[in-house]
Chain A
Amino acid sequence: GIQVEQSPPDLILQEGANSTLRCNFSDSVNNLQWFHQNPWGQLINLFYIPSGTKQNGRLSATTVATERYSLLYISSSQTTDSGVYFCAALQGGHSGNTPLVFGKGTRLSVIA
């Protein structure tokens, strides 16, 4: 099955700094999602982005499907951005009736 790798595993930023999180996947994808897991464990949907570029406020994401990677950009980081960011992929060629495969996450700490 598809493999998903995220980097870096840990990231510490000063408030106001920008950052880029990377997600590599081993096969073509039908679904690529970015999540933010808050301290209570809830997975918050950030982007559904199997290809292309999307922006939502200070966050944006780009997936280059042909090169099998996705990037999550966080600009002007705030302490509330702290938490774990997960990338998850659904292998291409399937009908959608298959589960997401998650990376191990990037733990982001934003310091005031």
Chain B
Amino acid sequence: DTGVSQDPRHKITKRGQNVTFRCDPISEHNRLYWYRQTLGQGPEFLTYFQNEAQLEKSRLLSDRFSAERPKGSFSTLEIQRTEQGDSAMYLCASSFRQANSYEQYFGPGTRLTVT
């Protein structure tokens, strides 16, 4: 059973460019979450999916951000017209409710640097 995987692990881009990150959840997990973590802070919620439906978006998710989860499997997070303030670690997590367990499992993250 493989864990949550994310690609790429690191991304350096110039301000104004678009970037796309991918997350592959644990195979039987139907819930998928995106979080963002800046230096010295805990992760903060961005958006989540149950199967292919995007059920909630944080106010942190400006209109430059979009996320998809086609067919309820992998998910992509796209940032358009990147800004220096977008530099952060982007974390993906997945979960599957079993016996009232809500435990979430995290991927290794994608570290974005906007120059």
The answer on a CB contact under 8 Å between B31 and A97 is: yes
Which listed residue (A48, A102, A105) contacts B44, Cβ 8 A? A102
- Can you list 10 pairs linking A and B with CB atoms under 8 Å apart? A45-B103, A48-B103, A86-B43, A88-B104, A97-B56, A99-B58, A100-B33, A102-B43, A104-B42, A105-B42
Interface positions of B from 34 to 73, Cβ below 8 Å from A: 35, 37, 40-45, 48, 50, 55-56, 58
Interface string of B89-115 (1 = CB under 8 A from A): 101010101001111111011010000
Give how many B residues have a beta carbon under 8 Å from the other chain's beta carbons.
Answer: 30
Q: B residues near A, CB below 8 A?
A: 31, 33, 35, 37, 40-45, 48, 50, 55-56, 58, 89, 91, 93, 95, 97, 100-106, 108-109, 111
Chain A contact-residue range equals: 20 to 34
A31 proximity list for chain B (CB < 8 A): 102-104
The answer on a CB contact under 8 Å between A45 and B105 is: yes
